[in-house]
Copies of this chain bind each other. A is one copy, B any other.
Amino acid sequence: MNLKKYRVEDKLKLSAFKTNETGKGSEAEALERSAARQPKLAAWQERLYAEGKQSLLIVLQARDAGGKDGTVKHVLHGLNPQGVVVTSFKVPTAQELSHDFLWRVHAAAPAAGMIAVFNRSHYEDVLVTRVHGLIDQPEAEARYEQIRAFEALLMGRHTRILKLYLHVSKDEQKERLQARLDDPQKRWKFNPGDLKERELWDDYTRAYQDAISATSSKDAPWYVIPADHKWLRDDLIGQLLLETLDDMNPKFPEPSFDPAAVQIR
């Protein structure tokens, strides 16, 4: 599949992107592709780690039940946990709030050789804050500028940044929330507060559109991933990850010594 069509090139209108796309083949084919991709991803990851120069940052944003946790579980579970750090950003603590909004995020940026995943991110600080009126438009614009500068700083140290918005419909969210209520093994993921956010659906749509439009660039693009079908979501993100690592092309480093001259006694 050509992933370009999911990339946000200019002003984003979410309604222009389908949530329930099914791609060209069947679900079974997508699952097979995803499974076949795991060892390839693991091989690239080992090179990235061995090289120790570049790093990869994956930013996951979505509405509640949009599939952030599922993406981490299904797309990344085959990687070596030694080279992956997942940070789940929650409601900021008192200490975090006593700093600028990028302080806690910066601390979680990937070290050279590593893959970092942000499950929610600094973008919450221009989304939930915006929807609830904690910041106004000028403050949002200032933060967009700060975000662009922050991401440029990371890119300057060879961090590749992929930003993914998992795009689900309002109906699909309802089904998933209901499933969390009905299944005792999923109920721990249900947060009654999510229903209040659901009522603000259109406000979130506007906030996402504004934030993504202002921060998608050639070097740090946003992708709108159709996510009603989990198997397509995982297939697309896996492909994107593989293409990105392939493009980064990390290499096993050359030794700083002459291997032939070493004698092990």
Contact = CB atoms under 8 A, between A and B. Distances in A.
Contacts of A73: 80, 82
A81 B117 contact: yes
A80 B72 CA distance: 7
A194 to B, nearest CB: 9
Interface in A149-208: 174, 177-178, 181-182, 184-185, 187-190, 192, 195, 198-199
Interface in A40-91: 42, 50-51, 69, 72-73, 76-82, 84-86, 88
Contacts of A133: none
B184 A252 contact: yes
Contacts of A195: 262, 264-265
Contacts of A77: 42, 77-81
Contacts of A185: 252
Given A184-B252, A188-B252, A188-B253, A264 B177 contact: yes
B255 A190 contact: yes
User: Which range holds the interface residue count of chain A?
Assistant: 35 or more
Contacts of A265: 195, 198-199
Contact of A72 (B81, B174, B190): B81
A72 B255 CA distance: 24
A28 to B, nearest CB: 20
B178 A264 contact: yes
Interface in A20-42: 42
Contacts of A181: 259, 262, 264
A209 interface: no
Interface of A: 42, 50-51, 69, 72-73, 76-82, 84-86, 88, 117, 119, 174, 177-178, 181-182, 184-185, 187-190, 192, 195, 198-199, 252-253, 255, 257, 259, 262, 264-265
Q: What 3 pairs across the A-B complex have the smallest Cβ distances?
A: A50-B188, A82-B86, A81-B84
